[in-house]
A and B are shown apart, each in its own frame.
Chain A
């Protein structure tokens, strides 16, 4: 692993650190609300990974510009950022907000039934029932 390769892949290492932090938060947090926030951290980390996979150095955003006659210019493929992961990640962001809303609805129901959101209290009450 030379320094050149580490410098070229640095974003992937940092995204791996973010993913592991989110996963550890889901395992080791005792409060259910923190678990949902850690799940969101993991989702954003995956999206960052895909977008950094799609980037090209010195390229422009995937919106075709207009030239002086207001016609759309045609561009070469290596000067435009790869647009395919962007479309997939738009779907991923919308699914993540739907999952977060549903998880929070479940949390409110759990709190109404058990009285608190701490994991130890909920497990105690579940054993008693």
Chain B
């Protein structure tokens, strides 16, 4: 029998705890349902959240920013500061995984297979070799075409990391084909600093932080210039997301360098 620990909700989950939590959660759910008449009807076009600010972004978005995909325009241009914070969050998560799991040698507590040798047969190996170039090409297409179709930096970065993960899954822990953990860390840092430097450079020309119309490119049209700034931002985000997802995968795998 386990002892009673002060401050913790009982030893394991007893029946009394289970019923108490069910009652409390039922009250919470009933409270949420009772508060829902204050929300607009689903699909209502005249509701308060759908007016005032979103109208401005939809109607003036293309002529001010030069990006037909309104979600990318909002994410990288109008709300670019929040996206910088989110890039910082995912970079910090990658660094924390390195701190937690990256510095110890793997202990063998469970009898495991040898992860250094390639797993599969000729079929898996050949499939991997055929697929990886196309995955990388599609990922770059998604990043650069995020202007005028659904896509953008996050999606492209995830697919780039997926290609590296496919290589590790098929060929074994030791193979990295140029995407090792050290290089992924360098790439993630380059992505983050690219974002911040695209924000700082307009300050040298008298504009505000993250104001893309101050970038020193040979384009005179302001929406065009802002579209180029958005492109640079998306590239930085893609590189950071790719680097961090590869770092977290390597830390979970227990690969030493």
Query: Which B residue sits closest to A4, measured CB to CB?
Result: B41
- The verdict on A84 contacting B54 (CB below 8 Å), with A11-B42, A13-B36, A112-B109 known, is yes
Interface string of A7-44 (1 = CB under 8 A from B): 01111110011011001100110100000000000000
Query: Which A residue sits closest to B26, measured CB to CB?
Result: A20
Q: Which of A1, A12, A55, A98 has the most CB of B within 10 A?
A: A98
Across the interface, do A53 and B79 meet the contact criterion of CB distance under 8 Å? Answer: no
The tally of CB-CB contacts under 8 A between chains A and B is 179
Judge whether B64 is part of the interface by a CB distance below 8 angstroms.
Answer: no
Across the interface, do A99 and B58 meet the contact criterion of CB distance under 8 Å? Answer: no
Query: Which B residue sits closest to A101, measured CB to CB?
Result: B248
With the chains together, A64 CA to B36 CA distance in Å?
32
Interface string of A38-81 (1 = CB under 8 A from B): 00000000000000111111010111101000001011111010
User: Dominant SS at the B interface?
Assistant: helix
Which B residues from 97 to 125 make CB contacts under 8 A with A? Answer: 97, 100-101, 107, 109
Across the interface, do B83 and A91 meet the contact criterion of CB distance under 8 Å? Answer: yes
With the chains together, A76 CA to B45 CA distance in Å?
12
Across the interface, do A123 and B74 meet the contact criterion of CB distance under 8 Å? Answer: no
Complex interface: chain A residues within 8 A of B41 (CB): 8-9
Judge whether B25 is part of the interface by a CB distance below 8 angstroms.
Answer: yes
Which B residues from 45 to 74 make CB contacts under 8 A with A? Answer: 45-46, 49-51, 53-55, 57-59, 61-63, 68-71, 74
Interface string of A78-96 (1 = CB under 8 A from B): 1010111111001101110
Complex interface: chain B residues within 8 A of A87 (CB): 71, 74-75, 79
Judge whether A124 is part of the interface by a CB distance below 8 angstroms.
Answer: yes
Judge whether B220 is part of the interface by a CB distance below 8 angstroms.
Answer: no
- The verdict on A90 contacting B154 (CB below 8 Å), with A28-B13, A62-B71, A120-B11 known, is yes
Residues in A lying within 8 Å of B, measured CB to CB: 1, 5, 8-13, 16-17, 19-20, 23-24, 27-28, 30, 52-57, 59, 61-64, 66, 72, 74-78, 80, 82-87, 90-91, 93-95, 97-99, 101-102, 104-106, 108-109, 112, 115, 119-120, 123-124, 126-127
Residues in B lying within 8 Å of A, measured CB to CB: 2-3, 5, 8, 11-13, 17-18, 21-22, 25-26, 28-29, 32-33, 36-37, 39-46, 49-51, 53-55, 57-59, 61-63, 68-71, 74-75, 79, 82-83, 86, 89-90, 93-94, 96-97, 100-101, 107, 109, 148-150, 152, 154, 241, 244-245, 248, 251-252
